[in-house]
Amino acid sequence: MTNSHKAPNDDQNLEKDCHLRYTTQSGQSSIHGDTLYEIQTQEAQSFAFYADKGEGRDKPGGTGTAKSVLYTPGQSCEVLGEGLKVRDAGDIQPVYAKTIKCLRGDLLIDCDNGDVTIRARNINLVADGGGSDGQTCIDANRLVQIKSPDVRVQAEKVLISATNSANIISKGFFQLKYGFALAAADADLNHGVMSRVLERATTIVPPNIDTATNPANIVRSD
């Protein structure tokens, strides 16, 4: 909502036009910046465009950070793409009904008291950053569940660490292939001699599980 106590930064007059069910206004000050154009309804809905406040700008000048804000106490719904072609099964050529493109900055979807559901024929998650970027991170306080007739994991390195228990259950054929294996109980690893014999018998340096799973050694972006 706007606050009309402060004069506009452009020194122009304030404007306000009241109708039976809606109001339009311009020039009022708000937390988003000076109002360029805003429409408000009797149901407390509003859609507004605000002038640049200089926030988040990498250099002075330029297009700046003017913004638009949509507020509604109820549901916001979009129905798109009715005129686009219906693709056949297996056709993965994109036909976009909606595109959100961030030239700079991030994208946040935040539900304070609700769930996020994404439903589609196919779902693709792509992290194509280079260097220290290119991460896909999933955090859950209780459970992460993947259910599919076919699950495949392909990587140069795979680490599975469980602080309590780990179970691999196969009701059919189970196949395990490796070039070299080192298996030892924690007591044997720390106090026994078998693991030391295996380590000396090969030039392969086994990973240090405790170091690999230390949060301080895991590169990620929140």
Does residue 24 lie within any of the structural domains?
yes
Structural domain count of the chain: 2
Domain contains 219: no
Nearest to 48 by CA among 59, 57, 40: 40
Asked whether the predicted pLDDT for residue 198 surpasses 80, the reply is no
Can you give the pLDDT at residue 21?
96
Average the pLDDT over 103-124 and give the result: 92
Average pLDDT rounded to a whole number, residues 59-66 = 61
Burial class (CB in 10 A: 0-12, 13-18, 19+), 49: middle
Buried b or exposed e, range 20-47, using 16+ CB within 10 angstroms: eeeeebbbbbbebbbbbebebeeeeebe
pLDDT, tens only, 174-189 = 999 988 877 777 766 6
Query: Residue 210, CB half-sphere, CA atoms under 13 Å: how many?
Result: 3
Task: Write down the mean pLDDT value for the chain.
Answer: 82
Q: How far apart are CA 84 and CA 105, in angstroms?
A: 30
pLDDT 10s digits, 71-103: 999 999 999 999 999 888 888 888 999 999 998
CA nearest to 26, candidates 41, 34, 18, 37: 37
CB-CB contact of 56 with 77 (8 Å):
no
pLDDT higher than threshold 90 for residue 45 = yes
13-22, 41-50, 167-176, 189-198: the lowest-pLDDT one: 189-198
Which of 42, 71, 100 is the last residue in one of the domains?
A: 71
What is the average per-residue pLDDT within 213-221?
50
Tokens of 173: 């054929």
Residue 10 lies in a domain: no
Give the residue numbers spanning the domain of 61.
Answer: 15-71
